[in-house]
Amino acid sequence: MSLRVYLLKRFLYTIALVFFVIIINWIIFEAMPGLNGNLYAVLGQRGRIGSAQYNQQVAIYGLDKPYWTQFIDYVKALLTFNFGYSSQDNVAVTYDMINTGRLFNTLELLGTSTVLAIIIGTIIGILVSRKRGSTVDSFWVTASLTTFSLPTFFMGILLIFVFAVATGLFPTGGTHPPTWDILGANLTPPLLQQILPRLWYLFLPALTLTLFAYGGFLLLTRATMMEALSEDYILTARAKGLTERAILFKHAFKNASLPLITNAALSFAFILSGAIITETIFNWDGLGRWLYSSIGYKDFPVMEAMFYIIALCVIAANFISDILYGLVDPRIKYE
């Protein structure tokens, strides 16, 4: 099968998955008995607002239409990223996601920690794989298992106590200095002058997520590298007199990187899901904290939008990783 045919096949499969996600999303949030009662959260009790106003709002939301018509409208809305209005803020969900800075804050936090976790975990995993059973290997395996097993809320609270409360080196939470938010005053500095203050506020939550995530990449890299280093072609490379660096990075790692590609792709796919616990502890105004508050408020439009976007990111990540397989390892055949 040629690459073009494979891409077409995977593209059609991806479209089918997207429609399956839309169907599941509609069943969970719209079609299940009682969930249309979300109108009570948005509009209030029928007796309190009056039947006329209630019926008017029901017509606006389209809940007086047949289920099939509601489903068609729902599909059109999701495909055009029209998620309706947030019950908490009474503004469009897309506007509330982008223009309030939540999307940027989550990309800043999760993007930074994910990249650092991948780089640190992969490099250390490669280095310790050639020293199996040594003190260095035992130390890093134990350290990675420890940080990977600790809850993020525990590490976050511990870091806040040590670096914020006890020493005062970093702020306890937030995304930027509170003086930037004074009403009626334009105190936000120019973009270049925002970098250092934002990095100062970013350090502790990013460190928390990096410590939690790098261990998985370290252990996976170590396992796949140890398997690759036991192959015959590594023995041949050493017999040719190649340097250890060339053997590790150019030969063994290239063949051991396929599981890492999948793991890294899925890690990036879940960036937009936010880090609910970490963002809540550090009062980080991102998508994870927004999703958490929407669950408590029963803000169904926000939950629908977040779950749909997360599913799209996972589908896209799997599609990209499948393509990267063939680029990294020519032995893979498209079938």
Average pLDDT over residues 22-30: 84
Would you give the distance in Å from CA 101 to the centre of its chain? Answer: 16
**Domains in the chain, ordered, with CATH?**
3-92 (no CATH), 102-285 (1.10.3720.10)
Percent of the chain with pLDDT over 70: 84
Q: What element of type H or E holds 261?
A: helix 258-269
- Tens digits of residue pLDDT in 142-186: 999 999 888 999 999 999 999 999 998 999 988 888 877 765 456
CB 221 within 8 Å of CB 262: no
Does residue 37 have a pLDDT over 50? Answer: no
DSSP-assigned letters across all residues of 137-149 = HHHHHHHHHHHHH
Residue closest to 124 by CA, chosen among 211, 234, 241:
211
Residue closest to 285 by CA, chosen among 98, 102, 113, 112:
102
CA distances from 290 to 144, 224, 319 (A): 30, 37, 28
Q: What element of type H or E holds 188?
A: none
Amino acid identity, position 310: I
Average pLDDT over residues 4-18: 85
Rounded to two decimals, the pTM is 0.81
d(CA 97, CA 86): 10
Average pLDDT over residues 299-310: 88
- Tens digits of residue pLDDT in 110-145: 999 999 999 999 999 988 988 888 888 899 999 999
pLDDT score for 40:
47
Does residue 238 have a pLDDT over 50? Answer: yes
